Amino acid sequence: MKTIDEVQQEIVDEFGVFDDWLDKYSFIIEEGNALKPLDDKYKTPENLIEGCQSRVWLQTTYRDGRLYFQADSDAVIVKGLLALVLRVFNGRTPDEIINADLHFMEEIGLTKHLSPTRANGLLAVIKQIRFYAIAYKAKEESTQSAS
């Protein structure tokens, strides 16, 4: 499995092919279209991310010491952004997620081209992913110390 930094560099390289933001947005939309739709049973208030302008759901599974995420949104650009973030974080250990330096968004210029509300929503998703990582790490440590 590639490291978080390797996946981020891959994303940066993919965006480097495009000269303008119209093409980059088209690529983001394609990434979102390729994201497996979230089953309706996971589109619950508990999985809804607060702070997003559009509706965003994030479902988490913890298996064999790693976190797996599924996400969906009712907005096509947001769904594409989710796909990029999930590429970086899916299948990682809690420590990898907690300690990750997420820099690809800055490197591809995404932070400059998102509306403030969309940027805040994306940060809310990342914050929630990190929160899950911290929670599962704490749960794992308490289970280990109890045995």
| pTM across the whole model | 0.93
CA-CA distance, 64 to 81, in Å (whole number)? Answer: 27
Look at residue 27 and tell me if it is in a domain: yes
Look at residue 87 and tell me if it is in a domain: yes
Per residue in 101-126, is it b (16+ CB within 10 Å) or e — as a string? ebebbeebebeeebeeebbebbbbbb
Told to judge if 52 belongs to the known catalytic residues of this protein, a careful annotator would answer yes
pLDDT, one tens digit for every residue, the chain (147 residues): 999 999 999 999 999 999 999 999 999 999 999 999 999 999 999 999 988 788 999 999 999 999 999 999 999 999 999 999 999 999 999 999 999 999 999 999 998 999 888 888 899 999 999 999 999 999 988 888 776
Look at residue 147 and tell me if it is in a domain: no
Residue with tokens 């991310």: 49
CATH code, 43: 3.90.1010.10
- Can you give the residue range of the structural domain that contains 78? 4-142
Catalytic residue among 52, 86, 88, 122: 52
Look at residue 120 and tell me if it is in a domain: yes
Domain count, the chain: 1
Look at residue 129 and tell me if it is in a domain: yes
